[in-house]
Structure 1
Amino acid sequence: MRYRLQEMQRHTVRREKSMTKKIIFFMMAALLLAGGCGTNEPDNILLEEPAQEFLDRAPDLPEEDQEQSEGQESRTIYVQVSGSVAEPGVYELAEGSRIFQAVELAGGVLEDADPGRINQAEVVQDGQMIYIPAYGEEGPSPGGVQQEDGRINLNTATEAELMTLPGIGASRAGSILGFREANGGFSQVEDLMKVEGIKDGVFSKIKDSVKVD
């Protein structure tokens, strides 16, 4: 009887040990799983929150800077500088340049120049004629170009002045001069359409830059 009782006690102890091991195993497995899930959530927060915070704090790029960052190249324009300057002629500038920059390219003004009569901060236009008057000089500038509007007079312009117009090279400028001489001048700007080599496309580019006096 005592022997059976001892056997039963040993069997019970073995079962308790086995159950204890199983409980410990499941507890450790649960801890590992919980620990893994716990690590994933903070990782997601650490990755997402700073990125969103950075985007929220990033300053908006001004539209002007965005346009410049797109790498747009400035267009080249040509202007005629004449009058009381050191080196009159046709000069190439970047679009958006000012009159004083064109005058600098022409070697600056002479001693008898009266640059105060023009707005040197004005933005120049393609094909514009810039005339620097001398002290005491009156009336419109030579070459038939009024200082205030910058348009070229077809009846008095030189070949060099005509070549400052967009789409007008030496050949077309010569044709304009030939037509003017043969017909006693231009009666209206639209007469340019009668000149050989000047069609709708070219005329539409230069019609606002010329005049007839």
Structure 2
Amino acid sequence: MHRIRKNHRYGTKGICLLLAAMLAVSAVGCRKEEAVSLEEADFSLEEEGQETGSEEVAGSDASDGAEEGQPEQIYVYVCGQVANPGVYELPPGSRVFEAINAAGGLLDAAAGYMLNQAEKMEDGQKIYVPSEEEAQAGEAVPGQADGMPAGSAGPESGEDSDGKININSATKDELMTLSGIGEKKAQAIISYRESHGGFQSAEELMEVEGIKTGTYEKIKDRIKI
């Protein structure tokens, strides 16, 4: 009887030890699973952070490129023998034929061959399409998209026989034949000379709002006072 009780006691202890061992193994397994889950979560967050950082850098680079690049649009004045003369908004790098198409195309009387229709345009450029009659009479300036018909300047015109524009008497349209001078800058030139009693020198043109050194350098050989 004593032996049976002793065996029973050992059996109970054995069961308790077995249960304790099983619980310990389970706890270790849970900790390992938690550790793996935490590592996976950290890795996932790290990947998301890298992707977000890459997207932000890419977006910043694209934005910087847009700011440092060309203007989003240019404005050109198309007149002469076209269906709808006027100022048109076009993408940078557009060519003369695209401006003509935007203005409704050439009229039947147009001498389109007098222009280099493959020429790239600048912001503020004027495209004058001469008539066939002007071309035959030698009154058009061949190969110049911003050229006015030679000899069309009257006594009150700002364009003299030497082909230079007198900035003290030129009309807005005549000023707009100058490279880089659009309608807004042409009006600013006229307003300046009216309020200052005219220009005393060609260099004074740089005092006009919007006329910088670069613009002046491009047109200085085509202007006079």
TM over 0.5: same fold?
yes
Q: Is the 1:128–1:209 contact (alpha carbons within 8 Å) kept by the matching residues of 2?
A: no
Q: Is the 1:159–1:174 contact (alpha carbons within 8 Å) kept by the matching residues of 2?
A: no
Amino acid at match of 1:165: I
Counterpart among 158, 165, 188 of residue 181 in structure 2: 165
Could you tell me how far apart the structure 2 residues matched to 1:37 and 1:207 are?
76
User: 1:7 matched to which residue of 2?
Assistant: 2
Secondary structure of the corresponding residue to residue 14 of structure 1: helix
The answer as to 2:124 corresponding to 1:115 is: no
**1:42: Cα distance to partner?**
6.5
Could you tell me how far apart the structure 2 residues matched to 1:175 and 1:199 are?
6
Task: Encode CA deviations 1:69-112: one digit per residue, 9 max, x unaligned.
Answer: 988695443322233223434x1414414323322343321112
The answer as to 2:170 corresponding to 1:154 is: no
User: 1:80 matched to which residue of 2?
Assistant: 77
User: 1:188 matched to which residue of 2?
Assistant: none
Counterpart among 121, 126, 129 of residue 123 in structure 2: 126
The answer as to 2:210 corresponding to 1:192 is: no
Could you tell me how far apart the structure 1 residues matched to 2:192 and 2:27 are?
93
The answer as to 2:222 corresponding to 1:212 is: yes
User: 2:211 matched to which residue of 1?
Assistant: 202
Residues 107 and 94 (structure 1), Cα distance of their counterparts in 2 relative to 1, 3 Å cut:
closer
Q: TM-score, normalised by structure 2?
A: 0.56
Could you tell me how far apart the structure 1 residues matched to 2:76 and 2:213 are?
19
Q: Is the 2:185–2:210 contact (alpha carbons within 8 Å) kept by the matching residues of 1?
A: no
**1:10: Cα distance to partner?**
0.7
Secondary structure of the corresponding residue to residue 79 of structure 1: strand
Aligned length: 186
Residues 116 and 94 (structure 1), Cα distance of their counterparts in 2 relative to 1, 3 Å cut:
same
Task: Encode CA deviations 1:123-159: one digit per residue, 9 max, x unaligned.
Answer: 32112121224447266746xx970676994249532
Summarize the alignment of residues 10-159 of structure 1 with structure 2, pairs less than 5 Å apart. Answer: 10-38=5-33, 40-41=35-36, 44-45=39-40, 48=43, 67=62, 74-89=71-86, 91-96=87-92, 97-135=94-132, 137=135, 141=140, 147=144, 153-155=164-166, 158-159=171-172
Percent identical among aligned pairs is 24
Tell me the C-alpha RMSD between the 2 structures: 4.7
Unaligned runs of 5+ in 2: 149-162
- Rg larger in structure: 1
Secondary structure of the corresponding residue to residue 193 of structure 1: helix
Q: Is the 1:192–1:203 contact (alpha carbons within 8 Å) kept by the matching residues of 2?
A: no
Q: TM-score, normalised by structure 1?
A: 0.59
Residues 109 and 160 (structure 1), Cα distance of their counterparts in 2 relative to 1, 3 Å cut:
same
